[in-house]
Amino acid sequence: MNIETIGLLILAYLTGSISSAVIVCRIMSLPDPREFGSNNPGATNVLRLGGKKAAILTLIGDILKAVIPILIGYALELHSRNLGWVGFMAFIGHLYPLYFNLKGGKGMATYFGVLVTLSPVLLIYGLTTWLITAFFTRYSSLASMLTSIAVSAFGFYIDKKYFFPLFAMSLILIWRHRSNIKNLWNGTERKLTDKKMT
């Protein structure tokens, strides 16, 4: 692994550490998403706290956190195997942001950002899985977990060079959703259609 790759891995983590949810909520004078709602600084919680506009801005920001460092990796002609780990580091930065006391989101938007730049086929497969699951269940958390599992499984057969970072992200995503798993089991998980919190 050369110095360019190491530097980009560090940059990806630092980029991932920028909390779009916190920044958007501060600009729009909304409650801190780490202290209200589900206490998760992600697009779903921002949707409930501030509505669609705030959620869309958060989503775009979280996706770009992975897209930008990976695009830099393409420009530097990094090996495709290393590009997957660049995306992984952006994902880790989102979960454990350096600038926000290591209190980050659950990573799904940044995960999609990784797919956007690494594999359009896996992105389409992942988006389809998420949308179908969310449409029928209305649970963002369940859609996220099933999507990460499905993408890892599908990716193993069509694009093995990204399998290990994607599989690692899948395991971490499920771990980060452990409270949601408990809520789903108990029937107390909030749905996407739940009313906006104030």
Predicted pLDDT of residue 198:
41
CA distances from 193 to 15, 47, 48, 103, 135 (A): 31, 10, 9, 26, 10
Please give the model's pTM, rounded to 2 decimal places.
0.88
Q: What is the pLDDT of residues 1-46, one digit of tens each?
A: 788 899 999 999 999 999 999 999 999 989 888 888 778 888 888 9
Exposed e or buried b for every residue in 133-154, given b needs 16+ CB within 10 A?
A: bbeebebbbbbbbbbbbbbbeb
Higher-pLDDT residue of 161, 194: 161
Please give the radius of gyration of the chain, using alpha carbons only, rounded to the nearest integer: 16
Q: What pLDDT, in 10s, does the model give residues 129-181?
A: 999 999 999 898 899 999 999 999 888 888 788 999 999 999 999 998 998 99
Task: Please calculate the CA angle 12-33-136 and round it to the nearest 5 degrees.
Answer: 90
Is the pLDDT confidence value at 194 over 70?
A: no
In the chain, the amino acid numbered 83 is: L
- Residue 30, judged by CB atoms within 10 A of its CB (0-12, 13-18, 19+), counts as middle
